[in-house]
Chain A
């Protein structure tokens, strides 16, 4: 079975402070993991992806995530939040369970950045 849990539906940070968006996953196979961002009234944009190479993955706009198999986690971080980071973020797991590439989205985390 495949699932993904985003532990916080809303996160609020001050501009210039670190961002941590938490994601835990479950997969019976070797998963690929993604973070997507969705700005208001926009489509989804890929931030970064893990596909069994380096466990620390760097993405766009200064974001990074670390794949921790022992903790089944893929948390998204950024050292210093910008106002433009305010958006909704989705953690996604993908594996080949059942013979095809199944994809499951988390329920999303809305990031608010306070000036």
Chain B
């Protein structure tokens, strides 16, 4: 089974802090994604990566950056956390050319 692991289930950070959300997948998938999930808005794509060291902006990249130094790991970075970034963050991976994405359990981030 594909396993996508997010390093934290729950995080509480202060406004202005730099925050790292980590995601690791164990199936050698080329594609990885970061989404945020908010009530009534579904999942919105923040950034995605086709392969190592490659990244593309999604629909809502403002206030975020990403890092993909190794194939199995995709990090989401909040350079200066703000309260409007309080959300559930979901990581996903997918084989290159595939259609199905596999999701992690999510990280619920609260910025106070």
| Residues of chain A within 8 A of B94, CB atoms compared | 101
> Closest Cβ of chain B: how far from A60's Cβ, in Å?
13
Establish whether residues A106 and B42, one from each chain, have CB atoms under 8 Å apart when the complex forms. Answer: yes
Establish whether residues A9 and B42, one from each chain, have CB atoms under 8 Å apart when the complex forms. Answer: no
A42 to B108, CA, bound (A): 11
- Size band of the B side of the interface? 20 to 34
| Residues of chain B within 8 A of A36, CB atoms compared | 103
**Looking at the complex, which of A11-19, A43-51, A69-77 is the stretch in contact with chain B?**
A43-51
The reply to whether the CB of A90 lies closer than 8 angstroms to some CB of chain B is yes
Interchain Cβ contacts under 8 Å between A and B, 20 examples? A32-B99, A42-B105, A43-B4, A43-B90, A43-B103, A43-B104, A43-B105, A44-B103, A45-B103, A90-B43, A94-B99, A101-B94, A101-B97, A103-B33, A103-B45, A103-B101, A105-B35, A107-B41, A107-B42, A108-B42
Report which B residues bind A (CB closer than 8 A).
4, 31, 33, 35, 40-45, 50, 56, 90, 92, 94, 97, 99-101, 103-106
